[in-house]
Amino acid sequence: MSAFSIPPENMDGQTRSGSLARRLIWTLVIFTFIPLTLMAGAAYVRTRQLLEEQVVTQMQNQVTTEMNAAQNAMKVKQIRLDRIARRPDFTNAMDTLLGKARGTPAFSAARNQVIAIFEELNREQGAPVFNLYFVADENGVVLAASNPNWEGASLTDAPVYAELQEADNQSFGVYDFTPFYPEQFSLVTVGQYRTADGVARAAIAGLSDEQSALAMLRS
């Protein structure tokens, strides 16, 4: 029985066919799989960028919201001090405090009137606007305060003494504001009391403790 043999010309044809098939496969790989890989990589990078941009946008929106809430809360405090300063009975009491000696009946009555007005207006939706408050003359001496033990104290050594003399309808943070919040952070809102001649004669201040200041940012 004779063996079956493939003519040489047929072997060459099969070799060429196999080579052509391999070239076709590699062509498919180059023009199909590689572009798909590149597209997948580009999609991943773009998706990651979009997620990062989304996170950044969310953080920016959160910070903006918190800052707006804090600014609105400080505005409420500033408006409240302005309302107090414009009350006619407050004006009369302040003129007495500035013109009479401490310990006299007129001074004591005026002091009580100032505190009563603060207590009356120191509310916003049932919550206190300020934790503490005081009035100090142009020499930094406390004339009236929510805590009577602070009255008569000098604030000339306080870190915010200059601001107390100059700031008007402003709020700022301070650390270690003795005797009110020693070794603590507090938010101070200051307004100026002006006599009929338009000259600032006293500082009107409301203080918020650290917890209240943080709550403003979280609201």
Q: What is the pLDDT of residues 104-151, one digit of tens each?
A: 999 999 999 999 999 999 988 778 899 999 999 999 999 999 999 999
On whether residue 195 sits in a domain, the answer given is yes
Bridge partners of 134, per DSSP, are 145, 205
pTM: 0.68
The parent domain of residue 77 ranges over: 64-218
On whether residue 68 sits in a domain, the answer given is yes
On whether residue 28 sits in a domain, the answer given is no
Euclidean distance between CA atoms 102 and 211, whole angstroms: 34
pLDDT at 201 > cutoff 80 = yes
pLDDT at 72 > cutoff 50 = yes
Omega before 7 cis (within 30°)? no
Q: Residue 127 has what pLDDT?
A: 83
Tokens of 112: 């009580």
Q: Residues 201, 98: contact at Cβ < 8 Å? A: yes
On whether residue 97 sits in a domain, the answer given is yes
**Mean of pLDDT over the chain:** 81
On whether residue 104 sits in a domain, the answer given is yes
Q: Residues 213, 185: contact at Cβ < 8 Å? A: yes
Domain count, the chain: 1
Euclidean distance between CA atoms 124 and 12, whole angstroms: 98
On whether residue 24 sits in a domain, the answer given is no
On whether residue 173 sits in a domain, the answer given is yes
> pLDDT (tens digit, 9 = 90+) per residue, 37-67?
767 677 777 777 767 666 666 655 554 555 5
CATH code for the domain of 160: 3.30.450.20
Write the DSSP string, 179-214: TTEEEEEEEEEEEEEE-TTS-EEEEEEEEEEHHHHH
pLDDT at 16 > cutoff 70 = no
On whether residue 50 sits in a domain, the answer given is no
Q: Residues 138, 166: contact at Cβ < 8 Å? A: no
